[in-house]
Amino acid sequence: MTFQTKKVSTLITGIVAATMASASLAATDGKVKIGVLADMSGTYADLCGPGCVVATRMAIDDFGGKVLGHDIELVSADSQLKPDIASAIARKWVENEGVDTIGGLVSSAVTGAVTQVTGASKNITLITGSASNAFTTSACSPYIAHWTYNVVALANGTVKQMVESGKTKWFFITADYAFGHALEGVSSKVIKENGGEVVGSVRAPLGTTDFSSYVLQAQASGADVVALANAGNDTVNALNAAAEFGLNESMDIAGLLVFTPNAQAMDPRVAQGMRLTTGFYWDMDDQTRAWSKRFQESYGGIPSMAHAGAYSATMHYLNAVAAVGTDDADAVMAQMKKTKPDDFFARNATLRADGRMVHDMLLVEIKKPSERKTENDIYKIVKVIPGDQAYNPMIESCQF
């Protein structure tokens, strides 16, 4: 090889190396920026709105506030429960503002819009408030970590237990959007598989305040159980209407998705004895009480499972970033799935290949007024449900 050839070869090698380094820098800027996109003022604000921002900030602070030699940045926004608005915010964050991961996401319709953006841009989504199991089945992605719960776990926890106890005839009052439809569909399947039947259903728009007509239809159905396949203020309003018409005196009422702040807002004389499934309860043990005390000091109220899930998911994400030394989504997600989550929230947990975080769930019962020691003393734990019994199995097409 001549001297000139050597010079050309060296030059080409240098150009290739520089190009590869440039591509690497384009994929990751070394800084970590976390976005929380949640319902800050609407139906689900108490479940995963400002509280999810507080919980995420707690995780960042507990981590030390820095990773990869840079301050960890936090931004937040109100989705307004509108998929188009949420999608626009997510696109602006990842394309123009360097946001690495987006958390919060309480509405399934909003979450679906956001995951389309983050999947295309290869940004990790930490789903901590949404219930639909589509995000690890029909709408799965290599960049989704579905953390707190899903409709399958709720149905396997609450519905299966009640059918097995002899409550075989069910009527649904369902939120008329993707989450409610999914919850009713999965629950109906569990009912039928365990020897029960669905005698009827009715769908109510999100944000309904007057549930009287729906309650009257349920009352006329002859069901053993009226299932509220909704959440947030919709559940509270439906339960109040049920009490007004005496429905709770003739039928069992099952809250298929009841967050702790909602249970606290319910009249205990009406809600007492209601069984439900949750991914977290603040008063379970010393670990949950210690974290919840800190959360309450910052937020002013007891945490929902979405709040606890937001902290847990954020901490697991940051640990993965630190471990691999980059914020590259593929490397970080591989590390997140490789390492078992283990904290006050994630018990006996694993992040599966499909992005589903499997962990123990709790079947709880709302206490009677006479059983409550304080205003925050809401549930008694009936049963711990192992994650492998609560969640749906993986499907082959979603194992990334």
Residues 242 and 377 in one domain: yes
Per-residue model confidence (pLDDT) at position 28: 61
Residue 225, both tokens: 């159980």
Rg (CA), the chain: 23
Residue 63 within a domain: yes
Residues 123 and 206 in one domain: no
Residues 271 and 184 in one domain: yes
Please count the structural domains in the chain.
2
Residue-range definition of the domain harbouring residue 378: 152-278+362-390
Residues 260 and 382 in one domain: yes
Residue 20 within a domain: no
Per-residue model confidence (pLDDT) at position 15: 35
pLDDT band at 382 (very low <50, low <70, confident <90, very high): very high
Per-residue model confidence (pLDDT) at position 392: 93
Residue 53 within a domain: yes
Mean pLDDT of the chain: 91
Residues 241 and 366 in one domain: yes
pTM for this prediction: 0.88
Q: How far apart are CA 336 and CA 352, in angstroms?
A: 9
Per-residue pLDDT, averaged over 208-224, amounts to 96
Residues 299 and 383 in one domain: no
CATH code of the domain containing 320: 3.40.50.2300
Condensed to tens digits (0 to 9), the pLDDT of residues 17-58 reads: 333 333 333 346 778 999 999 999 998 899 999 999 999 999
Residue 381 within a domain: yes
Phi, psi at residue 103, to the nearest 5°?
-120, -170
Residues 265 and 367 in one domain: yes
Residues 247 and 288 in one domain: no
Per-residue pLDDT, averaged over 104-133, amounts to 96
Residues 185 and 113 in one domain: no
User: How many other β-carbons are positioned within 10 Å of the β-carbon of residue 269?
Assistant: 10
Residues 86 and 128 in one domain: yes
Residue 2 within a domain: no
Residues 327 and 372 in one domain: no
Q: How far apart are CA 287 and CA 260, in angstroms?
A: 17
Contact 105, 38 (CB under 8 A): yes
Condensed to tens digits (0 to 9), the pLDDT of residues 159-183 reads: 998 999 999 999 999 999 888 999 9
Residue 14 within a domain: no
Per-residue model confidence (pLDDT) at position 177: 86
Q: pLDDT at residue 385 above 60?
A: yes
Per-residue pLDDT, averaged over 301-325, amounts to 97
Phi, psi at residue 381, to the nearest 5°?
-80, 120
Residues 270 and 183 in one domain: yes
Q: How far apart are CA 318 and CA 68, in angstroms?
A: 10
Residue 271 within a domain: yes
Per-residue model confidence (pLDDT) at position 3: 37
Condensed to tens digits (0 to 9), the pLDDT of residues 138-152 reads: 999 999 999 999 999
Helix (H) or strand (E) holding 96: helix 83-96
Residue 25 within a domain: no
Q: How far apart are CA 341 and CA 358, in angstroms?
A: 10
| Helix, strand, or coil (residue 275) | strand
pLDDT band at 103 (very low <50, low <70, confident <90, very high): very high
Condensed to tens digits (0 to 9), the pLDDT of residues 225-272 reads: 999 999 888 999 999 999 999 998 889 999 999 999 989 989 898 899
Q: pLDDT at residue 10 above 80?
A: no
